[in-house]
Amino acid sequence: MSSPVQTSGQTSGKQTPIALTIAGSDSGGGAGIQADLKTFSALGVFGASVIASLTAQNTLGVQGVFPVPPVFVQQQIQSVLSDLSVGAIKSGMLATADIIAAVAESLSAYPHIPFVLDPVMVATSGDRLLAEDAINTLIEKLIPLASVVTPNLHEAAVLLNEPVATSLEQMQLQGEKIIALGARAVLMKGGHTNSEQATDLLITAAGVSAFSMPRLTTKNTHGTGCTLASAIAAGLAKTLSLHDAVKEAKHYLHNALLHSEKLHIGQGSGPVHHFYSFY
């Protein structure tokens, strides 16, 4: 008689890489939790999720936001981290000061897990996703926990209360100021510049690394920030160095944008093609 097939519990062999996203749900499927989980899967990482807010959202914009009670956000985090061997955590849309404070309190108990902080403030459509009074809480409580913060140029300007950077030199200076707020590293995303190359700067205590890809022209940019931050978290979950995780993530996003024209989703700003390599 053959032995029964094992269907649960720990098995021998290599540990499955796991990443956790703490973010908002995008009902249109192009950004937020949905984009994060697609990115994890595409890069060979098992994805777990904590939903911090719900949105009524599509390619045309955000029609409504419903924040999840902070105590339940914490319950989700504890449920996941008490059971799964999570290799990296990524946060996205957190919506309110109370939710940010709750996430910070929970994550402070897990300083050994790499944490990618995407300071989501505004959707691609221009709709605001972070309450004005939540910015200081983000700066004071969450940035000091971050292994890397991934602001676009507009988000960095809001965090620092400065004009938007227009050059690589200004991007570096602002990145260094965000590190001074307590982050271990900052990836300043240059996607909103006007140069032919889309250049991001990874700034750490050890120095600055530039990651450049040719700029692409497409309307399918919904969820690009979520996708890049999640791809970095996926790399960290696979135990890549931060430099290599950013390099892999930048390459992945470039190709997801390059192949996005194969998708015909919605009437507005469509999503990137998370599963381009499978089609």
Q: Say what the pTM is.
A: 0.93
* Residues composing the chain: 279
Measured between alpha carbons, how far is 92 from 188 in angstroms, rounded to an integer?
16
Q: State yes or no: pLDDT of 73 exceeds 60.
A: yes
Q: pLDDT for 235-277, tens place per residue?
A: 999 999 999 999 999 999 999 999 999 999 999 999 999 999 9
Reply yes or no on whether the pLDDT at 194 is more than 80: no
Compute CA 12 distance to the chain's CA centroid, rounded to the nearest angstrom: 31
pLDDT of residue 208: 97
pLDDT at 1: 43
Classify the C-alpha dihedral 42-276-224-258 as positive or negative. positive
Average pLDDT, the chain: 92
pLDDT higher than 80, residue 51: yes
Instruction: Categorize the per-residue pLDDT at 125 as very low, low, confident or very high, splitting at 50, 70 and 90.
Output: low
Which pLDDT score, from 0 to 100, does residue 133 have?
82
Catalytic residues, which ones? Answer: 189, 221, 223-226
pLDDT for position 209: 97
Which has the closest alpha carbon to 93: 64, 123, 114, 63?
Answer: 123
Q: Return the minimum-mean-pLDDT range out of 4-18, 30-44, 81-95.
A: 4-18
Taken in order of first residue, the domains within the chain and their CATH numbers are: 18-262 (3.40.1190.20)
Retrieve residue 240's tokens.
Answer: 């890549």
Q: Which residue has the higher pLDDT, 127 or 144?
A: 144
Residue-level pLDDT at 7: 39
